[in-house]
Structure 1
Amino acid sequence: MIERVRAVLVTPRDELLFIRRERPDAPIYWVASGGHVEPTDASHEDALRREVREELAGTPDIAKLIQVIEGATDRQYIYLARIEAWSFPDRSGPELTQVGRGVYALDAIPMRTAALAGITLKPDALTAFLSAALAELPSLFALPDLRLPS
Protein backbone atom coordinates (compact mmCIF):
# COMPACT_ATOMS: atom_id res chain seq x y z
CA MET A 1 0.00 0.00 0.00
CA ILE A 2 1.46 3.35 -1.08
CA GLU A 3 1.17 6.05 1.57
CA ARG A 4 0.64 9.62 0.37
CA VAL A 5 0.18 12.94 2.14
CA ARG A 6 -1.58 16.06 0.87
CA ALA A 7 -2.03 19.55 2.31
CA VAL A 8 -5.12 21.69 1.96
CA LEU A 9 -3.21 24.94 2.34
CA VAL A 10 -4.95 28.10 3.57
CA THR A 11 -3.26 31.39 2.71
CA PRO A 12 -3.26 34.58 4.83
CA ARG A 13 -6.11 35.80 2.59
CA ASP A 14 -8.14 32.67 3.48
CA GLU A 15 -7.77 31.20 0.00
CA LEU A 16 -6.99 27.58 -0.81
CA LEU A 17 -3.65 27.08 -2.53
CA PHE A 18 -3.76 24.28 -5.14
CA ILE A 19 -1.46 23.15 -7.93
CA ARG A 20 -2.98 23.29 -11.41
CA ARG A 21 -1.81 20.42 -13.61
CA GLU A 22 -1.73 20.73 -17.36
CA ARG A 23 -0.59 17.48 -18.89
CA PRO A 24 -0.26 16.55 -22.55
CA ASP A 25 -3.47 15.01 -23.89
CA ALA A 26 -5.38 15.35 -20.59
CA PRO A 27 -7.92 17.81 -19.22
CA ILE A 28 -6.64 20.41 -16.73
CA TYR A 29 -7.07 19.48 -13.07
CA TRP A 30 -5.94 20.70 -9.63
CA VAL A 31 -4.31 18.86 -6.73
CA ALA A 32 -3.37 19.65 -3.16
CA SER A 33 0.36 19.85 -2.58
CA GLY A 34 1.89 16.58 -1.43
CA GLY A 35 3.11 13.19 -2.53
CA HIS A 36 4.64 9.89 -1.46
CA VAL A 37 5.81 9.20 2.06
CA GLU A 38 9.44 8.17 1.63
CA PRO A 39 11.25 5.65 3.86
CA THR A 40 13.51 8.48 5.05
CA ASP A 41 10.56 10.56 6.33
CA ALA A 42 10.24 10.35 10.12
CA SER A 43 6.45 10.74 9.98
CA HIS A 44 3.58 11.62 7.69
CA GLU A 45 3.80 15.22 8.83
CA ASP A 46 7.54 15.32 8.08
CA ALA A 47 6.76 13.95 4.60
CA LEU A 48 4.16 16.68 4.13
CA ARG A 49 6.61 19.41 5.16
CA ARG A 50 9.18 18.00 2.72
CA GLU A 51 6.67 17.85 -0.13
CA VAL A 52 5.43 21.42 0.43
CA ARG A 53 9.04 22.62 0.62
CA GLU A 54 9.86 20.85 -2.67
CA GLU A 55 6.68 21.89 -4.51
CA LEU A 56 6.13 25.43 -3.19
CA ALA A 57 9.34 26.42 -1.39
CA GLY A 58 7.14 27.06 1.64
CA THR A 59 6.57 25.70 5.12
CA PRO A 60 3.11 24.56 6.19
CA ASP A 61 1.81 25.13 9.70
CA ILE A 62 -0.04 21.83 10.01
CA ALA A 63 -3.29 22.19 11.97
CA LYS A 64 -4.89 18.77 11.72
CA LEU A 65 -5.50 15.58 9.77
CA ILE A 66 -8.95 16.04 8.22
CA GLN A 67 -9.46 13.09 5.89
CA VAL A 68 -8.03 9.69 4.96
CA ILE A 69 -8.86 8.46 1.47
CA GLU A 70 -8.48 4.72 0.88
CA GLY A 71 -7.74 3.68 -2.68
CA ALA A 72 -7.14 0.29 -4.25
CA THR A 73 -3.37 0.73 -4.14
CA ASP A 74 -2.82 3.80 -1.97
CA ARG A 75 -3.92 5.63 1.14
CA GLN A 76 -3.93 9.45 1.16
CA TYR A 77 -3.71 11.41 4.39
CA ILE A 78 -5.19 14.87 3.89
CA TYR A 79 -4.01 17.57 6.28
CA LEU A 80 -5.30 21.10 6.81
CA ALA A 81 -2.51 23.64 7.15
CA ARG A 82 -1.87 27.34 7.00
CA ILE A 83 0.90 28.69 4.82
CA GLU A 84 2.20 32.22 5.27
CA ALA A 85 4.75 32.44 2.48
CA TRP A 86 5.93 30.45 -0.51
CA SER A 87 8.09 30.98 -3.55
CA PHE A 88 6.75 28.94 -6.43
CA PRO A 89 9.69 29.91 -8.72
CA ASP A 90 12.09 28.44 -6.11
CA ARG A 91 10.44 25.04 -5.88
CA SER A 92 12.73 22.05 -6.21
CA GLY A 93 10.67 18.86 -6.49
CA PRO A 94 12.15 16.19 -8.75
CA GLU A 95 8.92 15.86 -10.75
CA LEU A 96 9.24 19.48 -11.88
CA THR A 97 12.21 18.72 -14.12
CA GLN A 98 11.00 15.43 -15.61
CA VAL A 99 10.29 15.64 -19.33
CA GLY A 100 6.68 15.03 -20.32
CA ARG A 101 5.17 15.82 -16.91
CA GLY A 102 3.42 18.93 -18.20
CA VAL A 103 2.85 22.24 -16.45
CA TYR A 104 2.69 22.80 -12.71
CA ALA A 105 1.03 26.15 -11.91
CA LEU A 106 -0.15 27.56 -8.60
CA ASP A 107 -3.66 28.93 -8.06
CA ALA A 108 -5.28 30.54 -5.02
CA ILE A 109 -8.94 29.52 -4.97
CA PRO A 110 -11.53 31.36 -2.85
CA MET A 111 -12.61 29.22 0.10
CA ARG A 112 -16.19 28.82 -1.12
CA THR A 113 -18.18 25.90 -2.47
CA ALA A 114 -18.90 27.77 -5.73
CA ALA A 115 -15.16 28.26 -6.32
CA LEU A 116 -14.47 24.55 -5.73
CA ALA A 117 -17.28 23.68 -8.13
CA GLY A 118 -15.48 25.72 -10.79
CA ILE A 119 -12.34 23.56 -10.79
CA THR A 120 -11.60 19.86 -11.18
CA LEU A 121 -9.85 19.05 -7.90
CA LYS A 122 -8.47 15.53 -7.60
CA PRO A 123 -9.20 13.20 -5.99
CA ASP A 124 -12.98 13.52 -6.28
CA ALA A 125 -13.39 12.39 -2.65
CA LEU A 126 -11.44 15.46 -1.51
CA THR A 127 -13.65 17.78 -3.56
CA ALA A 128 -16.82 16.27 -2.09
CA PHE A 129 -15.41 16.42 1.44
CA LEU A 130 -14.28 20.06 1.20
CA SER A 131 -17.51 21.17 -0.49
CA ALA A 132 -19.61 19.58 2.26
CA ALA A 133 -17.42 21.05 5.01
CA LEU A 134 -17.55 24.54 3.51
CA ALA A 135 -21.34 24.32 3.21
CA GLU A 136 -21.89 23.03 6.75
CA LEU A 137 -19.18 24.57 8.94
CA PRO A 138 -18.15 28.13 9.74
CA SER A 139 -14.55 27.24 8.80
CA LEU A 140 -12.48 24.29 7.63
CA PHE A 141 -10.62 24.70 10.91
CA ALA A 142 -13.80 23.54 12.70
CA LEU A 143 -13.26 20.05 11.22
CA PRO A 144 -12.21 17.40 13.75
CA ASP A 145 -8.58 16.33 13.96
CA LEU A 146 -8.30 12.65 13.01
CA ARG A 147 -4.81 12.25 14.45
CA LEU A 148 -4.56 9.85 17.34
CA PRO A 149 -3.70 11.51 20.65
CA SER A 150 -0.02 10.99 21.50
Structure 2
Amino acid sequence: MTLCQCPVTAAAEISDRYPIRTGAGIHADGYALRSGRGALRCFTWNQPGHISPMTVRPVVKRTARAVLLDGDDLILIKRTKPGVDPYWVTPGGGVEPEDSTVVHALHREVYEELGAKITDVVPCFVDTVEHIGDDGGATGVKVQHFFVCRLESMDPSLRHGPEVDEPAGEYEIVRVPFTRVGIASVHLVPLSLRHYLDGNIEGVRAMHAPDLG
Protein backbone atom coordinates (compact mmCIF):
# COMPACT_ATOMS: atom_id res chain seq x y z
CA MET A 1 0.00 0.00 0.00
CA THR A 2 1.20 3.48 -0.79
CA LEU A 3 0.36 6.22 1.68
CA CYS A 4 1.14 9.83 0.85
CA GLN A 5 0.49 13.04 2.71
CA CYS A 6 0.69 16.64 1.61
CA PRO A 7 -0.86 19.87 2.90
CA VAL A 8 -4.12 21.13 1.41
CA THR A 9 -6.72 23.72 2.31
CA ALA A 10 -10.43 22.88 2.20
CA ALA A 11 -13.53 24.57 3.59
CA ALA A 12 -15.17 21.29 4.54
CA GLU A 13 -14.36 17.62 4.53
CA ILE A 14 -14.50 16.27 1.01
CA SER A 15 -13.34 13.11 -0.67
CA ASP A 16 -12.50 12.30 -4.27
CA ARG A 17 -11.27 9.30 -6.20
CA TYR A 18 -8.80 9.75 -8.99
CA PRO A 19 -5.85 8.04 -10.75
CA ILE A 20 -2.50 8.40 -8.97
CA ARG A 21 0.96 6.93 -9.46
CA THR A 22 2.55 4.63 -6.90
CA GLY A 23 6.14 4.83 -5.76
CA ALA A 24 6.99 2.02 -8.19
CA GLY A 25 5.66 4.11 -11.06
CA ILE A 26 2.57 1.97 -11.62
CA HIS A 27 -0.77 3.64 -12.09
CA ALA A 28 -3.46 2.58 -9.64
CA ASP A 29 -6.77 3.89 -8.43
CA GLY A 30 -6.44 6.06 -5.36
CA TYR A 31 -8.72 7.61 -2.80
CA ALA A 32 -7.94 11.03 -1.37
CA LEU A 33 -9.38 12.26 1.89
CA ARG A 34 -9.14 15.94 2.62
CA SER A 35 -9.97 17.83 5.76
CA GLY A 36 -10.26 21.48 6.69
CA ARG A 37 -7.27 20.97 8.98
CA GLY A 38 -5.02 20.46 5.98
CA ALA A 39 -4.28 16.74 5.70
CA LEU A 40 -4.40 14.72 2.49
CA ARG A 41 -3.94 10.98 2.57
CA CYS A 42 -3.94 8.75 -0.51
CA PHE A 43 -4.55 5.04 -0.20
CA THR A 44 -3.68 2.98 -3.26
CA TRP A 45 -4.48 -0.47 -4.56
CA ASN A 46 -1.63 -2.91 -5.32
CA GLN A 47 -3.65 -4.42 -8.17
CA PRO A 48 -6.84 -3.34 -9.90
CA GLY A 49 -9.75 -4.27 -7.66
CA HIS A 50 -7.56 -5.36 -4.73
CA ILE A 51 -7.08 -3.05 -1.76
CA SER A 52 -3.92 -3.37 0.29
CA PRO A 53 -4.47 -4.66 3.84
CA MET A 54 -5.18 -1.85 6.30
CA THR A 55 -5.68 -1.65 10.02
CA VAL A 56 -9.38 -1.51 10.87
CA ARG A 57 -10.19 2.08 11.80
CA PRO A 58 -12.69 2.74 14.60
CA VAL A 59 -15.93 4.53 13.77
CA VAL A 60 -15.87 7.52 16.10
CA LYS A 61 -18.80 9.47 14.63
CA ARG A 62 -21.93 8.67 12.63
CA THR A 63 -24.23 11.14 10.93
CA ALA A 64 -27.62 10.83 9.24
CA ARG A 65 -28.39 13.04 6.24
CA ALA A 66 -31.39 13.48 3.97
CA VAL A 67 -31.37 13.60 0.19
CA LEU A 68 -34.68 15.37 0.57
CA LEU A 69 -36.92 15.58 -2.48
CA ASP A 70 -40.01 17.72 -2.89
CA GLY A 71 -41.45 17.22 -6.34
CA ASP A 72 -38.68 18.08 -8.80
CA ASP A 73 -36.59 19.92 -6.19
CA LEU A 74 -33.79 18.92 -3.84
CA ILE A 75 -33.88 20.73 -0.49
CA LEU A 76 -30.48 21.82 0.82
CA ILE A 77 -29.01 24.11 3.44
CA LYS A 78 -26.72 26.90 2.26
CA ARG A 79 -23.95 27.44 4.80
CA THR A 80 -22.32 30.84 4.98
CA LYS A 81 -19.46 31.50 7.41
CA PRO A 82 -17.22 34.56 7.74
CA GLY A 83 -14.11 34.19 5.62
CA VAL A 84 -15.29 30.99 3.91
CA ASP A 85 -16.91 30.61 0.51
CA PRO A 86 -20.56 29.47 0.78
CA TYR A 87 -21.24 25.78 0.47
CA TRP A 88 -24.37 23.63 0.43
CA VAL A 89 -25.12 20.56 2.55
CA THR A 90 -27.94 18.08 2.93
CA PRO A 91 -30.05 18.42 6.10
CA GLY A 92 -28.94 16.19 8.93
CA GLY A 93 -26.37 15.76 11.65
CA GLY A 94 -24.78 13.53 14.23
CA VAL A 95 -26.34 10.42 15.73
CA GLU A 96 -26.77 11.07 19.46
CA PRO A 97 -26.79 8.48 22.28
CA GLU A 98 -30.52 9.05 22.83
CA ASP A 99 -31.33 8.18 19.20
CA SER A 100 -32.67 4.64 19.04
CA THR A 101 -31.59 4.23 15.40
CA VAL A 102 -29.81 6.16 12.66
CA VAL A 103 -33.18 6.76 11.00
CA HIS A 104 -34.51 8.19 14.27
CA ALA A 105 -31.56 10.60 14.24
CA LEU A 106 -32.44 11.54 10.66
CA HIS A 107 -36.02 12.47 11.57
CA ARG A 108 -34.85 14.44 14.61
CA GLU A 109 -32.18 16.37 12.72
CA VAL A 110 -34.45 17.23 9.79
CA TYR A 111 -37.09 18.52 12.20
CA GLU A 112 -34.50 20.59 14.09
CA GLU A 113 -32.88 22.11 11.00
CA LEU A 114 -35.92 22.57 8.76
CA GLY A 115 -38.99 22.22 10.96
CA ALA A 116 -39.84 19.42 8.54
CA LYS A 117 -41.31 15.94 8.59
CA ILE A 118 -40.23 13.36 6.05
CA THR A 119 -41.57 10.12 4.62
CA ASP A 120 -40.49 7.27 2.31
CA VAL A 121 -37.02 7.02 3.86
CA VAL A 122 -34.68 4.74 1.86
CA PRO A 123 -30.91 4.27 2.43
CA CYS A 124 -29.00 5.33 -0.67
CA PHE A 125 -25.35 6.16 0.03
CA VAL A 126 -22.62 5.90 2.67
CA ASP A 127 -19.56 8.13 2.85
CA THR A 128 -16.59 7.29 5.09
CA VAL A 129 -13.93 9.91 5.84
CA GLU A 130 -11.17 10.30 8.37
CA HIS A 131 -12.20 11.99 11.60
CA ILE A 132 -9.64 14.58 12.63
CA GLY A 133 -9.13 15.11 16.37
CA ASP A 134 -8.37 18.34 18.20
CA ASP A 135 -4.64 17.66 17.85
CA GLY A 136 -4.93 17.55 14.06
CA GLY A 137 -4.41 13.81 13.83
CA ALA A 138 -6.76 11.11 12.57
CA THR A 139 -8.63 9.40 15.41
CA GLY A 140 -10.74 7.04 13.31
CA VAL A 141 -13.44 7.52 10.72
CA LYS A 142 -16.73 9.36 10.39
CA VAL A 143 -19.50 7.49 8.61
CA GLN A 144 -22.20 9.57 6.94
CA HIS A 145 -25.43 7.72 6.15
CA PHE A 146 -27.47 9.34 3.36
CA PHE A 147 -31.16 8.53 2.89
CA VAL A 148 -33.37 9.56 -0.01
CA CYS A 149 -36.74 10.71 1.32
CA ARG A 150 -39.75 12.86 0.49
CA LEU A 151 -40.86 16.04 2.19
CA GLU A 152 -44.17 15.60 3.99
CA SER A 153 -44.42 19.06 5.58
CA MET A 154 -42.16 21.96 6.53
CA ASP A 155 -42.60 24.97 8.81
CA PRO A 156 -39.31 26.87 9.23
CA SER A 157 -40.72 28.65 12.29
CA LEU A 158 -40.38 25.31 14.12
CA ARG A 159 -36.62 25.14 13.59
CA HIS A 160 -34.65 24.75 16.80
CA GLY A 161 -31.41 23.37 18.18
CA PRO A 162 -27.83 24.68 18.19
CA GLU A 163 -27.83 25.54 14.47
CA VAL A 164 -30.70 27.95 15.12
CA ASP A 165 -30.11 29.01 18.73
CA GLU A 166 -26.34 29.52 18.45
CA PRO A 167 -25.57 29.58 14.73
CA ALA A 168 -21.99 29.55 13.45
CA GLY A 169 -22.81 31.67 10.42
CA GLU A 170 -26.00 31.39 8.37
CA TYR A 171 -28.21 28.38 7.66
CA GLU A 172 -30.46 29.13 4.69
CA ILE A 173 -33.01 26.62 3.40
CA VAL A 174 -32.77 26.49 -0.39
CA ARG A 175 -34.19 24.47 -3.25
CA VAL A 176 -32.34 23.44 -6.38
CA PRO A 177 -33.70 21.44 -9.32
CA PHE A 178 -32.93 17.76 -8.82
CA THR A 179 -31.08 17.59 -12.12
CA ARG A 180 -27.42 17.38 -13.04
CA VAL A 181 -27.46 21.06 -13.95
CA GLY A 182 -29.14 21.96 -10.65
CA ILE A 183 -26.63 20.00 -8.58
CA ALA A 184 -23.70 21.46 -10.53
CA SER A 185 -24.99 24.99 -9.85
CA VAL A 186 -24.05 24.82 -6.14
CA HIS A 187 -20.97 23.81 -4.17
CA LEU A 188 -22.46 20.67 -2.64
CA VAL A 189 -20.35 18.83 -0.05
CA PRO A 190 -19.10 16.23 0.41
CA LEU A 191 -17.79 15.93 -3.12
CA SER A 192 -18.41 12.18 -3.04
CA LEU A 193 -22.14 12.85 -2.65
CA ARG A 194 -22.11 15.27 -5.58
CA HIS A 195 -20.45 12.63 -7.74
CA TYR A 196 -22.90 9.97 -6.57
CA LEU A 197 -25.95 12.10 -7.37
CA ASP A 198 -24.53 13.20 -10.71
CA GLY A 199 -24.18 9.58 -11.75
CA ASN A 200 -27.36 8.25 -10.16
CA ILE A 201 -30.17 10.81 -10.42
CA GLU A 202 -32.41 8.37 -12.28
CA GLY A 203 -31.59 5.60 -9.81
CA VAL A 204 -32.30 7.81 -6.80
CA ARG A 205 -35.71 8.69 -8.23
CA ALA A 206 -36.33 4.99 -8.88
CA MET A 207 -35.91 4.31 -5.16
CA HIS A 208 -39.42 5.76 -4.78
CA ALA A 209 -40.93 3.78 -7.64
CA PRO A 210 -44.36 2.36 -6.65
CA ASP A 211 -43.38 -1.16 -7.72
CA LEU A 212 -40.18 -1.26 -5.67
CA GLY A 213 -41.86 -3.38 -3.02
The TM-score range, normalised by the shorter chain, is 0.7 to 0.9
| Structure 2 unmatched ranges of 5 or more | 1-59, 132-141, 209-213
Is residue 130 from structure 1 mapped to residue 188 from structure 2 by the alignment? no
Q: TM-score, normalised by structure 2?
A: 0.62
Aligned residue for 1:84, secondary structure, equals: strand
Query: 1:98 corresponds to which letter in structure 2?
Result: E
Q: TM-score, normalised by structure 1?
A: 0.87
Match of 1:117 in 2: 184
- Verify the 8 A CA contact 2:114 2:158 in the aligned structure 1: yes
* Distance in 2 separating the partners of 1:113 and 1:89: 31
* Distance in 2 separating the partners of 1:109 and 1:45: 24
Aligned residue for 1:59, secondary structure, equals: strand
Q: Deviations over 1:122-148 (max 9, x none)?
A: 1111111001112xx2x523259xxxx
Match of 1:80 in 2: 148
* Distance in 2 separating the partners of 1:25 and 1:62: 38
* Distance in 1 separating the partners of 2:107 and 2:158: 15
* Distance in 1 separating the partners of 2:81 and 2:158: 21
* Distance in 1 separating the partners of 2:99 and 2:126: 19
Q: Given the alignment, which residue of 105, 130, 150 partners 2:172? A: 105
- Verify the 8 A CA contact 2:65 2:106 in the aligned structure 1: yes
Q: CA RMSD in A?
A: 1.5
Richer in helix (by share): 1
Match of 2:80 in 1: 22
* Distance in 1 separating the partners of 2:112 and 2:121: 20
Is residue 48 from structure 1 mapped to residue 112 from structure 2 by the alignment? no
| Structure 1 unmatched ranges of 5 or more | 145-150
- Verify the 8 A CA contact 1:34 1:51 in the aligned structure 2: yes
- Verify the 8 A CA contact 2:80 2:171 in the aligned structure 1: yes
How far residue 14 of structure 1 moved from its aligned partner, in angstroms, is 2.0
Q: Which runs of 4+ in 1 moved over 6 A?
A: none
Query: 2:109 corresponds to which letter in structure 1?
Result: E
Aligned residue for 1:75, secondary structure, equals: strand
- Verify the 8 A CA contact 2:76 2:89 in the aligned structure 1: yes
- Verify the 8 A CA contact 2:163 2:171 in the aligned structure 1: no
Identity of aligned residues (%): 31
Q: 1:51-70 residue pairs with structure 2 within 5 A?
A: 51-70=109-128
* Distance in 2 separating the partners of 1:61 and 1:106: 19
- Verify the 8 A CA contact 2:68 2:74 in the aligned structure 1: yes
Match of 2:163 in 1: 95
How far residue 94 of structure 1 moved from its aligned partner, in angstroms, is 1.6
